[in-house]
Structures are given as structure tokens and as C-alpha cells.
Chain A
Amino acid sequence: MKEFHFTVGDPNGMHARPAGALAACAKRFACAIRVRHGEKEADAKRLLSLMSLGARCGSTLTVQALGEDEEEAARALEELCRVQLGAPKGKET
């Protein structure tokens, strides 16, 4: 099993767009992928479940991939989380 933790940095939290990107990415892999936020858990391949996690800016998510291609899946999702949910949108650096 591969696991990583991720803290949401986007002030908008886990909204439709990043959740959609995550689900689309997760679907490309055969392994089972779970996302945990506190007590709630979601199948990463399901968009409505991801949105229902209610993850916000500052929430820490735990992502677990289990199965044949778990390593690639975890790597891809971690990268995607950083891009889609990492930095506050619109903030000038």
C-alpha cells in the first residue's frame, strides 16, 4: 500500500474543479484509491464522494492506494494535489 498526506492550500478547498481532476486521474489506475479527511472517507474515483468530504483550506487529507499500480497512482495523485489544491489561487507571488 502507498500512502501520502496532503494539506489543502487552496482557499476554496476541495471544490468541483479539483475534485473532478482528482477523480479523472484516479480512474486511470486499476488500484483502489481511498481519500480520508478526518472521519470521512471517499473513493477517489467518485466525484460526488470527493466533494462530500467537505475538505477545506488547511484540511489534511490522507490518500491511500492499494493494488498493482499503487506506486504510480500515488505519485500521480500527489503531483495533481499539489497543482490543483496546493497554492492559493490568484495570489500573486
Chain B
Amino acid sequence: MDTRKRAERRLVSGIGVSGGCAAGRLFFLRSEEKAEDAPEKSAPTSSEEEWERLSVALEKVKTELAVLAERTQTSVGEEEAGIFRIHGMLLEDDDLLDALREELFRKGKSAEGAIEAGVDRFSAILGALDDPYLAARTADLADLAAQVKRALRGISSAEGAVLPYPCLLVAEDLSPSETILLDRSSLLGLITFRGTPSSHTAILARAMGIPALVNVGSLDPLYDGETALLDATAETLLLAPTEEEELAFLERVERERRIAREHEAYLRTLGERPALTQSGRRVLIYANIGDGSETENALAKGAEGIGLLRSEFLYLGLRELPSEETLFHAYADVVLRMGDRRTVIRTLDAGADKQLPYLGLAEEENPALGMRAIRICLARREIFKTQLRAILRASALGRLAVMLPMIVSPKEVEASRALLSECMEELRAEGKAFDRELEFGIMIETPAAALRARELAEQVDFFSVGTNDLLQYTLAADRQNPLLAQLCEENAEPVLRLIGEAADAIHATGGWIGVCGEMAADLRLTQRLVSLGVDELSVAPPYLPSLRRRVTECE
């Protein structure tokens, strides 16, 4: 590996399902450590005997699950314990038992074969419902089948994997029972190659307060036992850190812990008063979220709205495009929870580092400068229209705003507007409700958009600056490359100037401007952004309290 390659590979990104940072040695959980699946029994005994074996195993797993539920209730919470109670109910569900009998007696399968086939049958039904939540339940069913198969071999699932040292655990995927059974005193963080934010494992990690990063692809087993730095809030894992990086990280962890404690106390006294600068200017403090489950946390930390709802998570981990209904329900979930607070949905920002295999896009030499975001949406209008219709329908339920990513030209805005109007016409004809005054905005992520902000401002109600991309395109520097971190750090100035241009342009037409990238969370820049005229700052929920305080200190 040449140094450049290695530098790129050192910083791994994924989906952070719970916040927090942890430094520690990686420990790769291999299938040897997980109980190996039993091979199909070579000589099946009679169906009656197999049924007897299976019944005993089912009883055993039910008992184990009851114990797990108890344990979860005391160590995590009532809600989370419900996961294992439902698992117990599934094992005594007549649907499943009927299927097992059929596989055993009619098809002559072994106990192992029957539980596998029975569970597969329902996984197929739930997976076909086009509902990411229910599709995620197939992982629960697979977990159950594995537990039953272990019980058939006389292996208990009541003991967790052995963690040899306090570690950042790395696994292909983890089941809910494996997660809850991990020894928390040795578990510093969790990293899985696969997994989704709505899996029960993710929910458990969140509730257990363990920093966790899912869907990282894969990690080279060479890093097993090596130190790494997990930042679940920033959704990154830094492999093989240098001593300085590690020291800086540990200092940051300690600092963040102290700040978190202070802020909890501060939040209690602050309530939800608007954030006013010393000169009395109001700055809206919004949150960036990925789905409805994060709204609660955002509201608890004082979010006055959602400045960035990343809509692409709904498109990840599926085999085909989500339907309008699926999208509508997900958006409705957020809008309803936010009540009369504004929610800004960014339309599909696929491509670059968020590839969707089922779109069948050609491989690109340079994906960051390739077919992504609005470019895909305008090339594949049916995909875009499905999303716009879902957004419009959800807009009837609350206060929604839509914004387009990666704009470089007024033509793109015009074409998108036309599609939006088309969707409105269709919905009107179908008698479906939507907000006729839906706020319409664009992201300022390219130098081109900032430089022609005056033209663009005429077309929209608001701008939101995505500083991550704006920085990378302005400096021609990949933020993910640790070798360039300092370069990016030291050169915020040109980006700030572009933000200033955009702010002046949109204010001239009576609109507003927000910032939703990492710069919004950088407290050293808050004063500058406020001075440039930024009306709204949107950050990940954990940063909300510190940002709110910083704004009140600004001039």
C-alpha cells in the first residue's frame, strides 16, 4: 500500500447509531467465537422424535429469552426488554408452530431444517412488505432460528461472547441477544460491517449508551488488536492513529464528557427560550437527523426545528427503491413528532459515498464529482417524483420545507420546481392534501452556487449551506483524508466568504439562510457565521446545548 492509499483507508465511515466517542483496541469477533451453526443432521430420526427434540429446544430458548428480558429490564429498560418478550411470543406463535409441524411431518425435515425453513417463510413475508422497520425484524427472526439451532446442539445462548480485553468490538453483524449479552464493563464501542439504524441491535446500543457505528463495509483483520479511535457522533473510525492523534482524541473525549455534564445542568435551567445574541438577534438552533427515532433526543436537547433530515437512510440497505408509502410514513413520523416546528427535508443525496446498488449506476472514476444527488434525481425523474410526492403529502401534517442538494445552476432549480408543480397537480387531482405554501430551498454546497447566489435567491425561499461539501469543493481537498485535515482546518476563510455572499443574496430577496455542515458545530466559528448573517444553525443533537450557549455569548 502506498502512503496515500493507507491514509485514505485509515478513516472509515459508517452510520452512527448512537453518539459518543471511545478509544481502545479493536477486537474482531469471528464466527469461531460466535457459536457455529450446526450442520444439517446427517441421519434424521423419525418425525416424532425430531418434533420432541425441537419442542425441548424451543422451551429452552423461551426460558433463555425470559431471562434475557429480565436482565434487559434491569440493566437497560422496560422498552428494550420488550424486544426479547416479543421474541418469546414468536416462538409460541401458532403461525410459526404450524409451519414447523408442516416442515417436520409433511416434508420430513429435521428439527434444524424445520426451524430454518419456518423462519425463512416469515422473513420472506415481512421482507416483502416494503416497510424498513418490518424488514429489519427479519434479523430478529434469524437470531431466533440461530438460538434454536444452538439449543438443539445443547449449547446455551445465555452467555455472551468473551471479550478478552476492554475493546471496540468489531463484528460482521450482531444479533440483539448477542448485543445485550456483551460484557459491558469490557465493551467500549461497537462497530459492525452491516446493520441498519432501525435494527434492534442499534436500538439496544443507543439505549445502553455505547458508541456504535454500523454499516462500515468491512475492516481489514490486520487491525485486530490494534488501537483505534471511534467517534460515533462524527460517524467515523480512525484506524492506527498516531500518538498525537490518540492523545488529542482522549483529551477531546474527556473535554466532551465534562461539557456534557455541564450542559445537562445548563439545559435544565435554560428550558426552551429562543437563542438570542448579546445584541438581541435571534438565531434558530436546529438539529440534523437521519430518521424519526432521533427527534426525541433532538427535542430533549432543545432543537427548535430540524435543519437537515437526511432522507437517504431510507434508501440504504434495501433491494429496491422504497415506495411512496414507505417514504410518506417515515416523513410523517418526523413531521408529526415535530409539531409546529419546521422540518427541512433534503431530497435524495445518493451517489459519491452513498451508493445505492439497485440504481444500477455506472462506476465512476471520481464519484465526488460524478452522478450524485440532484443530478441523479433529474436524470431519473420517476425516483425524484416518488420522493417529492411523499414529501408533499407529509407537508399536510405539519411544517415542512424541502431542499435540493448539490445545486450548481438555476436550470436545475427550475427543472426541480417544474417536477414539484407536476406532483402538486397530480395530488390535487387525486384529492390528496398537501401544503400549497411548502417552503422550497437549495443547498449551497458548490462554489458555483455561492457565486451565483443572487440568481438562485430569486428562485427559492431559503439557502442551507452544506459546509462539508462546500469546503471540499472550494479547497479541492478530501476532508476524509487525514493528511489534509490541517489544510482544511486552516482554510475556512474562503468558505466563510462564500457563505457571506450567499447570505447577502438571499437576504436581499427576503429569504433566510442556514448552515448545516460541520462548521455549524464548530464553536470557534459561531461568531463569524452569526456576523455573516446566518439565521439558522443546524447540528447533530449532541452539539445542540453547547451551540445554544455559544450563540447567546455572540455579539
Contacts and interface: CB of A to CB of B under 8 A. Distances in A.
Interface string A25-65: 00000000000000000010111110110101100000000
A57 B329 contact: yes
B126 interface: yes
A16 B329 CA distance: 17
A88 interface: yes
B332 A11 contact: yes
Interface string A13-24: 101110010011
Contacts of A43: 94
Contact of B93 (A12, A47, A57): A47
Interface in B247-282: none
B129 A47 contact: no
B325 interface: yes
A21 to B, nearest CB: 9
A24 B332 CA distance: 29
B550 interface: no
Interface SS majority for chain A: loop
Contact of A48 (B122, B299, B332): B122
Contact of A20 (B85, B292, B295, B329): B85
Interface residues of B, number: 30
B336 A52 contact: no
Given A15-B133, A56-B131, A48 B90 contact: yes
Interface residues of A, number: 24
Interface SS majority for chain B: helix
A48 B296 contact: no
Interface in B124-148: 125-126, 129-131, 133-134, 137, 140
B336 A24 contact: no
B333 interface: yes
Nearest to B125: A52
A32 to B, nearest CB: 13
Given A48-B93, A91-B336, A91-B339, A54 B85 contact: no
Interface string A71-93: 00000000000000000101110
22 contacts: A11-B333, A11-B336, A13-B131, A13-B329, A15-B133, A15-B137, A17-B86, A47-B86, A47-B89, A48-B90, A48-B96, A48-B122, A51-B126, A52-B125, A54-B129, A54-B131, A54-B134, A57-B329, A88-B333, A90-B296, A90-B337, A92-B299
